[in-house]
Amino acid sequence: MTSSNNNWVCFSCKYHKREPKIRKSTPHCIYCKRELYCLGYKIPVPKKHKVKEWEALACCMYWTDIENLEEEQKSRVESKHRIEREIKELIYEKKDTKENRKRLKKLKNELENL
């Protein structure tokens, strides 16, 4: 097993294949044709007949995805607040200089792209 390949799985068909980490597109299941889920390279793939292990893995990945989404959202909100604070400081507490105007423009862009 090399770290340059990830395990890609289909939880429905219990199909798995190893593919490189960096790909142009997501690989598909050869049975149901749906996109495969990337497990990474550290998580072992259960044997096809170990149904309970597949179910536990699917459940674990589901909660991991939810946690990651929540973290992402939390981080986005924190960034938004940080940028808003900095904009407020620039507008109310700092001098109107060319540098500050540039910084303000950059911050407003960052805020729009969050």
Residues making contact with Zn ion (CB under 5 A): 10, 12-13, 29, 31-32
CB of 78 to Zn ion, least distance (A): 38
CB-nearer residue toward Zn ion: 35 or 67: 35
Which two tokens mark 12? 């429905």
Nearest distance, CB of residue 68 and Zn ion, angstroms: 23
Helix (H, G, I), strand (E, B) or coil at 39: strand
Alpha-carbon torsion angle 109, 111, 112, 114, nearest 10: 120
Nearer to Zn ion by Cβ, of 54 and 83: the residue is 54
Task: Compare residues 13 and 104 and give the one whose CB is closer to Zn ion.
Answer: 13
Burial bucket for residue 14 (CB in 10 Å: 0-12, 13-18, 19+): buried
Please check whether residue 7 is in contact with residue 18, taking contact to mean a CB–CB distance below 8 angstroms: yes
The minimum distance between CB 40 and Zn ion, in angstroms, equals 19
Give the nearest distance from C-beta 38 to Zn ion in angstroms. 14
Q: What is the largest CA-CA distance in the chain?
A: 69
| Nearer to Zn ion among residue 13 and residue 38 (C-beta) | 13
